[in-house]
Chains A and B, each alone.
Chain A
Amino acid sequence: MKLKFENNIYDVDVTIQDEQVSLKLNGKTLLFKKGNSLPNMFSLASTDNGRFNQFFTSEDESHIYVNYEGDCLVFDKVKEEEKSFDANETESGNKQVVLPPMPGTIVKILVEKGQNVNEGDALIIVEAMKMETTLYASIDGNVSEVNVQASEQVDADKVLIVVEKEE
């Protein structure tokens, strides 16, 4: 099974025998002890110190959520056909695809199509939950696409602006 966490893909397999849990992680094997657990709470102890810690779990269609003492880890479920998924595809060094941080409203567009920008230049201001966020250029280049207008409502997957490095 593959899980994605903070841009890393983890190839994991877990086998359980009595209280011994073994985690195969990217080819390496780690051992845990499983204590009294619930369907959505797993009590696990690593073999080095033997102390049990409680991990609460839940899922939706595309994520698994794990909470350990207030620290929430969100894993993306990786489907087999997405094996070639490259997190940085949209931000390779030659092209920057600007997406909103979350669904929101466009406040102001600060660049025009065809304009040259430098890394760190402000491109666009988006508002969500009454908070303005300014998105900046991450490369030096030329604005090749501006796909939105001021006060337009956008979803999180809307490509707002594309900056391309000039050859």
Chain B
Amino acid sequence: MIKKVLIANRSEIACRIIRACKEVGIRTVAVYSEVDSEALHVLSGDESVCIGPAPALQSYLNQEVIIKAALDTNCDAIHPGYGFLAENSDFNRKVRDAGLIFIGPDPKPMELLGSKVASRQLMLKSGVPVIPGMKTSSMDISEFEKTADEMGYPVLIKASAGGGGKGMRVVLQKDKLKEAVESAMRESKSAFGSDEVYLEKYIESPRHVEFQIAADHHGNAIYLFERECSIQRRHQKIIEEAPSPVMDPELQKSMGETAVKVAKAANYDSVGTVEFLVDKDKNFYFLEVNARIQVEHPVTEMTTGIDLVKLQIAIANGEKIPYKQEELKQTGHAIECRIYAEDADNNFMPSSGTILFLKEPAGPGVRYDCGIYQGSKISVFYDPVLAKLIVWGKDRDEARQRLILALKQNIILGVKTSIKFMINCLEHPEFINGNTFTNFIEKNMNEKIPRPEFILNSALTAAVLFLQSQKKQLAVFSEGNGKMPSPWLSIGNWEICSSK
């Protein structure tokens, strides 16, 4: 039985896992790099261990140091979260070799599925539909050129070890191919430590629909329905929802059963996600398996009522999945927005700085998985995700309206965020009509929506009023008889969760 877990991750997902552990009475150890010593996840864990300097290679990707930290603090398991080492089968093996439980799948299926090329071959063999493309990765540019010439452009370059759009490039014409392959190799090397990339046919205007699966060590496997994650920028999802606007009961059953087939073919034994592309005629193609808990898992939790992190821990403990497929139901509609520190007006350039003010949204059906607090520093070293806002409604439109309101009420000052951009997406007629294709942003969100003049004028007024009141306050304080401002205005958001 798992009694104490080291969470080999940071930010909101580390906080999310710590919360699940606390609910079931498991003690937690947070790890952090030198720049993260005051991060929310560090304050949330029962214990914390510094694992090295800021660059991820020296801290959050440093396998030996992380395993040693788990042993030193008497943990019996490691949860890798998503990103970093989550799908690194070497790490997975080393964790097990050290006598610890790895909360995730066995290294063999992880290795198999982690290689997009190997998993493609397995799917072809198992009769799962896949997108045409190169059979293996290659270092030989002429092989890329040959396959691309045969299939015709546009083509898509993908990192074998990839995820989250890192190391991925769309190439429209031949003269851009070499540069794109090299750039994808470099990005993949720096993000995943592997420069294996391959090429496949680029399907235009598809939807990205993925199925949540869970499989245990006793041969049981289920699907927990789909999530549509078509709203992406730079091939990274930013808005995810369940159910998919395109879903019908037959397609759901057919895709769900295919997802379970994928899990069984790979001997998968944890929670995971099978990603598909769905074209306009509702044909679906296997993309890849994400052998980890995913960023967008709350959307499934909100519509099925099942806590996926707790289920993942139970499976790692050797327990049987306590649900039968026919008992599972998707209820209502959930949508998630990933709130990044980035500038939507400037090509989504990451924004770093200090969170000067944070007001978290709340209300019926509103969930905020947060990795920051007021005063947090957002460094340039890591993915700039601040929080995830997930909203549930009885139907898609109620969820959408609630989400827009919650986004408006989520006040973050100090860094640029994607909040306004996401409100604009959610208010777009094509989103409202469910026309969510993976090119939604390029197609619909190119033109900047002009800001009404009264907003700029009011904001200028507020800015000046604020500066004037700050000066007054300073004057009062310096006389030594001033009233302190209410602590509730300055303390930011806190969650009391230490059980030391």
Binding site for B on A (CB under 8 A): 1, 3, 5, 10, 12-14, 16, 21, 23, 25, 30, 32, 34, 37-40, 42, 44, 46, 48, 53, 55-60, 64-75, 101-104, 107-108, 125, 127-133
- What's the nearest-Cβ distance from chain A to residue B412, in Å? 7
Residue of A whose beta carbon sits closest to that of B345 = A6
Residue contacts A-B, CB under 8 angstroms, 20 given: A3-B460, A14-B465, A23-B461, A30-B461, A40-B489, A46-B457, A56-B359, A56-B411, A57-B463, A58-B413, A58-B466, A59-B466, A59-B470, A60-B414, A67-B357, A69-B408, A71-B419, A104-B380, A129-B381, A130-B187
Given the complex, which residues of A lie within 8 Å of B350, measured CB to CB?
Answer: 102, 128-129, 131
**Are B419 and A42 closer than 8 Å at their CB atoms?**
no
The residue in A3, A107, A131 that gathers the most chain B C-beta atoms within 10 A of its C-beta is A131
Residue of A whose beta carbon sits closest to that of B352 = A102
- Using known A-B contacts A23-B460, A44-B458, A125-B183, determine if residue A70 contacts B408 with beta carbons closer than 8 Å: yes
The residue in B187, B411, B461 that gathers the most chain A C-beta atoms within 10 A of its C-beta is B461
**Chain A to chain B: the 5 pairs with minimum beta-carbon distance, closest first:** A55-B462, A70-B419, A57-B466, A58-B356, A69-B408
Given the complex, which residues of A lie within 8 Å of B465, measured CB to CB?
Answer: 14, 16, 21, 34, 37, 42, 57
Question: Given known contacts A14-B464, A42-B462, what 15 new A-B pairs fall within 8 Å (CB)?
Answer: A1-B464, A5-B460, A23-B460, A25-B457, A40-B357, A44-B462, A46-B457, A58-B466, A60-B353, A64-B466, A66-B466, A70-B420, A70-B423, A72-B413, A72-B417
The docked-state distance in angstroms from the alpha carbon of A34 to that of B309 is 47
Query: Which residue from B407, B417, B454, B462 sits with its C-beta under 8 Å from A57?
Result: B462
The docked-state distance in angstroms from the alpha carbon of A88 to that of B204 is 39
- What's the nearest-Cβ distance from chain A to residue B310, in Å? 30
Interface residues of B in 443-500 (CB under 8 A from A): 451, 454-470, 473, 485, 489
Given the complex, which residues of B lie within 8 Å of A67, measured CB to CB?
Answer: 357, 411-413
Interface residues on B, range: 35 or more
Query: Which residue from B384, B414, B416 sits with its C-beta under 8 Å from A129?
Result: B384
**Are B463 and A3 closer than 8 Å at their CB atoms?**
yes
- What's the nearest-Cβ distance from chain A to residue B11, in Å? 13
Given the complex, which residues of B lie within 8 Å of A72, measured CB to CB?
Answer: 412-413, 416-417, 419-420
The docked-state distance in angstroms from the alpha carbon of A6 to that of B249 is 50
- What's the nearest-Cβ distance from chain B to residue A134, in Å? 8
Given the complex, which residues of A lie within 8 Å of B462, measured CB to CB?
Answer: 42, 44, 55, 57, 66
Residue of B whose beta carbon sits closest to that of A101 = B349
The docked-state distance in angstroms from the alpha carbon of A12 to that of B359 is 28
Given the complex, which residues of A lie within 8 Å of B89, measured CB to CB?
Answer: none
- Using known A-B contacts A39-B489, A127-B190, A129-B383, determine if residue A32 contacts B458 with beta carbons closer than 8 Å: yes
B207 at the interface (CB under 8 A from A): no
B354 at the interface (CB under 8 A from A): yes
Binary A-proximity of B394-423 (CB < 8 A = 1, otherwise 0)? 000000000000011011111011011011
The docked-state distance in angstroms from the alpha carbon of A53 to that of B190 is 45
- What's the nearest-Cβ distance from chain B to residue A67, in Å? 5
- Using known A-B contacts A32-B458, A68-B458, A128-B380, determine if residue A39 contacts B356 with beta carbons closer than 8 Å: no
**Are A32 and B461 closer than 8 Å at their CB atoms?**
yes
Given the complex, which residues of A lie within 8 Å of B201, measured CB to CB?
Answer: none
Query: Which residue from B166, B456, B463 sits with its C-beta under 8 Å from A64?
Result: B463
Given the complex, which residues of A lie within 8 Å of B412, measured CB to CB?
Answer: 67, 72
- Using known A-B contacts A56-B413, A64-B466, A72-B417, determine if residue A130 contacts B460 with beta carbons closer than 8 Å: no
- What's the nearest-Cβ distance from chain B to residue A46, in Å? 5
The docked-state distance in angstroms from the alpha carbon of A3 to that of B346 is 21
- Using known A-B contacts A23-B457, A102-B349, A129-B384, determine if residue A42 contacts B190 with beta carbons closer than 8 Å: no
Residue of B whose beta carbon sits closest to that of A130 = B191
- Using known A-B contacts A73-B459, A129-B350, determine if residue A65 contacts B356 with beta carbons closer than 8 Å: yes
Query: Which residue from B347, B417, B457, B467 sits with its C-beta under 8 Å from A59?
Result: B467
Query: Which residue from B187, B356, B459, B473 sits with its C-beta under 8 Å from A60?
Result: B356
**Are B349 and A25 closer than 8 Å at their CB atoms?**
no
Given the complex, which residues of B lie within 8 Å of A129, measured CB to CB?
Answer: 350, 380-384
- What's the nearest-Cβ distance from chain A to residue B114, in Å? 18
**Are A12 and B464 closer than 8 Å at their CB atoms?**
yes
The residue in B357, B420, B462 that gathers the most chain A C-beta atoms within 10 A of its C-beta is B462
Query: Which residue from A66, A131, A132 sits with its C-beta under 8 Å from B463?
Result: A66
Residue of B whose beta carbon sits closest to that of A68 = B455
The residue in A16, A59, A69 that gathers the most chain B C-beta atoms within 10 A of its C-beta is A69
- Using known A-B contacts A21-B465, A72-B419, determine if residue A58 contacts B454 with beta carbons closer than 8 Å: no
- What's the nearest-Cβ distance from chain B to residue A57, in Å? 4
The residue in A56, A75, A129 that gathers the most chain B C-beta atoms within 10 A of its C-beta is A129
The residue in A16, A21, A42, A127 that gathers the most chain B C-beta atoms within 10 A of its C-beta is A42
The docked-state distance in angstroms from the alpha carbon of A101 to that of B470 is 31
**Are A132 and B461 closer than 8 Å at their CB atoms?**
no
Given the complex, which residues of B lie within 8 Å of A60, measured CB to CB?
Answer: 353-354, 356, 414
- What's the nearest-Cβ distance from chain B to residue A36, in Å? 13
**Are B408 and A44 closer than 8 Å at their CB atoms?**
no
- What's the nearest-Cβ distance from chain B to residue A163, in Å? 20
The docked-state distance in angstroms from the alpha carbon of A125 to that of B184 is 13
The docked-state distance in angstroms from the alpha carbon of A87 to that of B383 is 30
**Are B413 and A65 closer than 8 Å at their CB atoms?**
yes
Residue of B whose beta carbon sits closest to that of A46 = B454
**Are B458 and A74 closer than 8 Å at their CB atoms?**
no
The docked-state distance in angstroms from the alpha carbon of A128 to that of B384 is 11
The docked-state distance in angstroms from the alpha carbon of A48 to that of B458 is 13
B3 at the interface (CB under 8 A from A): no
Residue of B whose beta carbon sits closest to that of A66 = B459
Given the complex, which residues of B lie within 8 Å of A42, measured CB to CB?
Answer: 461-462, 465-466
The docked-state distance in angstroms from the alpha carbon of A13 to that of B465 is 9
The docked-state distance in angstroms from the alpha carbon of A145 to that of B382 is 31
- What's the nearest-Cβ distance from chain B to residue A18, in Å? 14
Interface residues of B in 167-191 (CB under 8 A from A): 183, 186-187, 190-191
